[in-house]
Amino acid sequence: MASEPERVILTYEDLLQLPNDRYRYEILDGELQVTAAPSTAHQTVVGNLFFLLTGHVRRCRLGQVFTAPLDVFLTDITVVQPDLVFVAESRKEIIFPQCVRGAPDLVVEVLSPSTAQTDRGGKRQIYARHGIPSYWLLDPDRCEFVAYALEAGIYRQAILGHDADKVAALPFPDLDLHLEEIWGWDS
């Protein structure tokens, strides 16, 4: 009887050895995830949201916003690269020169056809398990914004917005986001 091959568990040290190319590498519970460079629609949404969040965060001195690629080290075998990351000023000690070490206050994923299933499933579970209080999912194809809030270790949908809706979600309840600006309709 043939035995199953032993599962190889990758670590952050393994991740650091991978090439610096057009691919994004993450380790989800020890398994390597590789995705191609994002599309222009994806980059438009990430760029527009980064611009809006960074302006608010700087004006209010709330902390720091980062955009991918940036390693978020949750454990030695779980290192992710969300599209956007926010770390509150009160928790800035988790920001290191090479990565964020620990759970940020917000992670944002912008869906692509190649990442949607992972972002809605496995990564969402990982983010909840590691105590990330706010998780936003943006779908450029459907012009949909979903904000999740962590409650008792599980994400519950807190906000749902479409098209040109105006939304405000934790950790920025005082920031009105006009979704048409994020989708790039104003350009």
Cβ(146)–Cβ(111) below 8 Å: no
Q: Degrees (nearest 5) of the Cα angle 169, 174, 176?
A: 70
The rounded distance, in Å, linking the Cα atoms of 63 and 31 is 31
Determine the average pLDDT of the residues in 100-121: 94
- Residue entry with tokens 């979600």: 169
Query: Is pLDDT above 70 for 1?
Result: no
Q: What is the pLDDT of residues 18-41, one digit of tens each?
A: 888 878 899 999 999 988 888 899
| Residue 117 structure tokens | 């299933």
- Whole-model pTM: value is 0.92
CA–CA separation, 103 and 3 (whole Å)? 38
61 or 6: whose pLDDT is higher? 61
Instruction: Report whether the peptide linkage leading into residue 113 is cis, meaning its omega lies within 30 degrees of zero.
Output: no
Domains in the chain, start-ordered, CATH in brackets?
Answer: 38-183 (3.90.1570.10)
**In which band, very low, low, confident or very high, does the pLDDT at 86 lie, cut at 50, 70 and 90?**
very high
- The 8-class DSSP code of residue 93 comes to G
E strand or H helix at 182: helix 179-183
Residue 184 has pLDDT above 80, yes or no: yes
Cβ proximity of 135 and 145 under 8 Å: no
Model pLDDT, residue 141: 93
